[in-house]
Amino acid sequence: MVNIKKRILFIILCGILLLGTTGCGNYIYPPNKLTNNNSNNNNTTQDRDIQVEEKKYTKESLENAISSQPVIVYSTEYLIQDEDYKCLYPDLLVANIKNNSGEDVKNVQVAFVAWDSNGFPIKIDSKYGSDIYVPIVDFDDVNLTNGQTYDDTGLALGCTTESKIKTFKAIVVNYTDFDGNTWKNPLFNTWKDFYEDKKLNDNSKSISDTYNTNNNNELVKIYIFGSKESSECAACNYQIEELKKLDAYNKKFEIVYKELYVNQKDWVKGKDYQLGKNVVQAFQNAGFDNISLDGMPIVVISDVYAQLGANPNLENYIIEAYNNGSYDAVKCIESNKKNCIRN
């Protein structure tokens, strides 16, 4: 009888809580949850923080997760506007943004972090603020439709004759749509924990660019290991089509298709299976957690990206590989060389 009363009391309490602002049990907002800043509902908190399930990330898995977010920094560039008149034409940390949210985006906030040539963290000397490790910049009125990019703008540095910055990263902190809804990046604090006032690990897989060192303008080879005919592998075909949509296609990268399996019906090993197996093993040994022979496609970009499954957001990895000299890790592995995944 006591147990029945307790159950009845619990049900009543749950009903009361559900009518208020809190529910019974653990409810987690999806990562793309938008919160309305203009709501008149007293139970709605403006700019409510997004709740995300507790998860441990490696740098690689974190950056893969960030690359799939609704609005991303898809590439970066250190832009020198003038060699002499830095105060009038300051150097810029450029962050190019892409909107994949399905919404029209009005404003975006972007955070930056930087290192010197030794990989030591640098307080960024901003033209409009004090030196801090992670400055946040407002990109107002970017006015992006879904799929559109916003390029060639960024953080203006202070009047220094020579910047110490050799490498930097950038991340979208939040964005606002035209209805006043704000999406807050649930991974921003995790990103800060990895990089703020931290030495840059030599084998970190960067999501941003460094200075362009591709003096020969060689194309990056993006290897796709799939079925004998890409049309027999829907995910393989999707990956190829998404890559061909990029402006950098045949300008900064080319696609190299490899036969991992004959088809996905019988999973008979294809003519390039052994190469694929060796590539998977090499990247796994180098700490890449999301690559295996358990499906198709396997996508490899230089030694900066290797993953099982299609990903429509590969621009940042392509540009990083291009700026690093279009190094071909798969060719190195195919030649039976050692240490093909550079640290």
Q: Where are the domains positioned within the chain?
A: 59-195, 220-334
pLDDT at residue 189 tops 70: yes
Q: What share of the chain is helix, strand, coil (3-state, %, to 5)?
A: 20, 25, 50
With CA atoms as reference, report the closest residue to 258 among 218, 297, 310, 219: 297
Number of Cβ within a 10 Å radius of residue 278: 15
Identify the pLDDT of residue 343: 57
Percent of the chain with pLDDT over 70: 76
Q: What is the pLDDT of residues 55-84, one digit of tens each?
A: 577 887 888 889 889 999 988 888 888 878
Amino acid of residue 252: K
Residue ranges of alpha helices (H) inside the chain are 2-19, 59-67, 188-195, 234-244, 273-285, 315-323, 329-334
Judge whether residue 303 has pLDDT over 50.
Answer: yes
Average pLDDT of the chain to the nearest whole number: 78
pLDDT of residue 45: 31
Q: For residue 198, what pLDDT is reported?
A: 92
Bridge partner residues of 156 (DSSP) = 92
Higher pLDDT, 33 or 280: 280
Q: Is the pLDDT of residue 133 over 90?
A: yes
- Region 100-125 average pLDDT: 92
**3-state SS class at 230:** helix
Whether residue 112 contacts residue 182, with contact meaning beta carbons closer than 8 Å, is answered with no
Cis peptide before 90 (omega within 30 of 0): no
Q: Residue type for 48, please?
A: R
Q: Which tops the pLDDT comparison, 96 or 211?
A: 96
CATH of the domain spanning 220-334: 3.40.30.10
Res. 21 pLDDT band, cuts 50 70 90: very low
* Residue 24, pLDDT above cutoff 80: no
Condensed to tens digits (0 to 9), the pLDDT of residues 243-280 reads: 999 988 998 999 999 999 987 777 889 999 999 999 99
Per CATH, which fold does 59-195 belong to? Immunoglobulin-like (2.60.40)
d(CA 317, CA 209): 9
User: Does position 207 have pLDDT exceeding 70, yes or no?
Assistant: no
Tell whether the model's pLDDT for residue 38 goes beyond 90: no
